[in-house]
């Protein structure tokens, strides 16, 4: 499941961080808005532009989603760490998560790209 679908206030393990460019699909599966609206939002938010426009990055074999992975990693969110979803604002608003002593607000599209699983107690 992705971070949007995850329950609040339980420990979650980050399994994979996908590229946000697939987020319209991620979101649609979560029952959030129509396909074309999500695609339009992706265009307006400039998601995936870095990869499309920078040939040097593509040539290095860096996959889509590298930018988001780097951004999240800088705040300590990477595959394998334990996070906690604190709240989700209404109508596809930002998701607030807690990692260690840090709280981070993440836009809905980015949150949809973060795959998590619940940790069995």
Which parts of this chain interact with other proteins (CB under 8 A)?
A: 44-47, 49, 67, 70-71, 73-76, 78, 86-94, 96, 99-110
Look up residue 80 and give its DSSP letter.
T
Nearer to other proteins, 1 or 33 (CB): 33
Nearer to other proteins, 1 or 105 (CB): 105
Please give the Cα distance from 22 to 75 (Å, whole number): 22
Residue 5 Cβ vs other proteins, minimum distance, rounded to whole Å: 17
Please give the Cα distance from 105 to 121 (Å, whole number): 26
Structure tokens at 2: 């992705």
Residue 105 Cβ vs other proteins, minimum distance, rounded to whole Å: 5
Contact criterion met (CB below 8 Å) for 79 and 8:
no
Residue 89 Cβ vs other proteins, minimum distance, rounded to whole Å: 5
């Amino acid at each position: 499941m992705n971070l949007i679908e995850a329950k609040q206030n339980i420990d979650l393990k980050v399994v994979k961080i996908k590229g946000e460019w697939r987020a319209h699909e991620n979101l649609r599966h979560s029952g959030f808005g129509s396909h074309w609206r999500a695609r339009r939002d992706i265009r307006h938010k400039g998601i995936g532009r870095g990869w499309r426009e920078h040939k040097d990055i593509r040539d290095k074999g860096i996959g889509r989603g590298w930018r988001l992975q780097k951004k999240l990693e800088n705040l300590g969110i990477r595959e394998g760490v334990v996070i906690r979803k604190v709240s989700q604002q209404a109508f596809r608003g930002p998701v607030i998560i807690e990692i260690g002593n840090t709280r981070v607000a993440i836009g809905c599209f980015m949150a949809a790209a973060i795959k998590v699983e619940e940790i069995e107690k």
